[in-house]
Structure formats: C-alpha cells, structure tokens
Structure 1
Amino acid sequence: MQISTQIMSSTISPVRGNNASGSARSVGESGVAPSFTHALASVSDLQSQAQNLQKEVQMQNPDVSMEEAMVAMQKAQIGFQATLHVRNRMVQAYSDIMNMQV
C-alpha cells in the first residue's frame, strides 16, 4: 500500500498545481489545462519507462529484473487510471455546469 500511495501522490501532484519542487506555479501557468497537460506527460513517461523495461526483460538483460519491470508497469497503470478518473470528473463537472438552469 505504501507504493500505491507514493504513486498516487506523484501522479496527482501536478493536478493540484504544484511543480516538482513543491512551490506554487507562476501566474502565467495557472489553470487546469497546464496541470492536466503536465499530468498526461508524466503518465506518458511512466508508460514509456515501463515499456522499455519490459523490452529489456524480454531481451534477457541481466541488469533489469522482472520485478523492476512489473513495478514500473503497475506505476504506469495506476497513473493512467488516476488521470482517467480526473478527466472523467472534469467532463462530468463541465456537463453539469452546462446543464444548469440560469
């Protein structure tokens, strides 16, 4: 459970509006779009790393263990699922706002 908590916090932190150093974003980068773009880039990087490790395991590279590749694949999957849930919530919120009576 410790690993999944770390993964979720590292995946969700871009959505909260903090950069890697933990300081607040500048005024020019405020908003949902840059945060979501950064989260998608992070998930894409995790998926690329997992895919590369998987290839190395398949090629029987002695420097890469099967466990390392499996953990990387799980990190990528959890990150993707978290990002997908955030996107779905954003779409639902937009839909709810658009359907409000004025």
Structure 2
Amino acid sequence: MTTLDTSSLTEMQNAILQRASTLKNAAGLSTSATKDVGGVSSVVDGSKSGGILSFNDALNEAMSSVNDSYIQSTEAQDAYQKGETTDIASVMLSRQKASVAFQATLQMRNRLMDAYKTIMNMSV
C-alpha cells in the first residue's frame, strides 16, 4: 500500500480542480466557480445568490437529474406505446440518455466507495 503525504494530496486536488475548471470552461458553464473554504474547495453556484453548494446538495441535484431523465424516458415510451407519437428515434434517444445518466451515477458511486475504502484502510 502506498503512503500519501499532504503535499501529494494537495497536488492531486489541484489537478482535479484544474481539470474540472477546464471542462467547465469547455462546456460554457460560467455561472459557477470554485471557492476555497477552510482549505477545502467547494462549488459556488452563482444562480443561488452566491451560496455554497454542499456535496450533499450537489449529490441530491445529480440524483434528481437522473431521476428526471428516467421519468422523461418512461413518459416518451408510454406515449409511443399509446400511439400519441410516432417518433421512435426520440424515444430511443431519451432511453439512452437515461441509461447513460444511470451508468455515470453508478460509476460515481463505485469510485466514491473505493475512495472511502482507501481512506478507511490508511494508517494514521
């Protein structure tokens, strides 16, 4: 097992924040920024009057988004089955979007669990 010191953890955190910033700029999300609070960087949501978006809030928002995409895909599938729409491409696209969102959430959970296990196995 490799030991991690604080400088390498800080370097990894800075690299992750830099990648997130690059991706955010590429996506054109200029309403959010990062803010350093007590040595821990947090996401600041510009649309919520400058408040800090906690990890729990971000996770709940992501879960809500995944759930909404699943509900939309189910509604599109039901509409197609009832004959209300004939656009099978949009139905399949919404199903794939919901599937990708769920798979991304599952992978995020797996990574968080691996990180938790790694931290719990560290000697202090």
> Given the two structures, how large is their TM-score scaled by the length of structure 1?
0.71
Partner of 1:11: none
- Counterpart AA for 1:86: M
In proportion to residue count, which structure has more strand? 2
> Paired residue for 1:22?
31
| 2:118 matched residue in structure 1 | 96
- Report the AA paired with residue 60 of structure 1: G
Structure possessing the higher radius of gyration over alpha carbons: 2
> Cα distance, 1:36 vs. partner?
1.2
TM-score w.r.t. length of structure 2:
0.60
Q: Per-residue deviation at 1:73?
A: 0.2
Secondary structure at 1:50's aligned position in 2?
helix
The alpha-carbon deviation at position 39 of structure 1 amounts to 0.6
What is the CA deviation profile of residues 75-101 of structure 1, one whole-angstrom value per residue up to 9, with x for unaligned ones? 000000001101110111011101101
Q: Are 1:85 and 2:102 matched, yes or no?
A: no
Identity %: 36
Question: Secondary structure, in 3 states, of the residue corresponding to 1:37?
Answer: helix
Partner of 1:49: 72
Residue of structure 2 equivalent to 1:40 = 63
Structure having the higher helix fraction is: 1
Partner-residue secondary structure (3-state), 1:84: helix
Per-residue CA deviations over 1:49-87 (Å, capped at 9, x if unaligned) read: 00000000001113x511111000000000000011011
Number of aligned residues: 81
d(CA) in 1 for partners of 2:30, 2:94: 23
Structure 1 unaligned regions, length at least 5: 1-15
Cα RMSD between the aligned structures?
1.9
* 2:88 paired residue number: 66
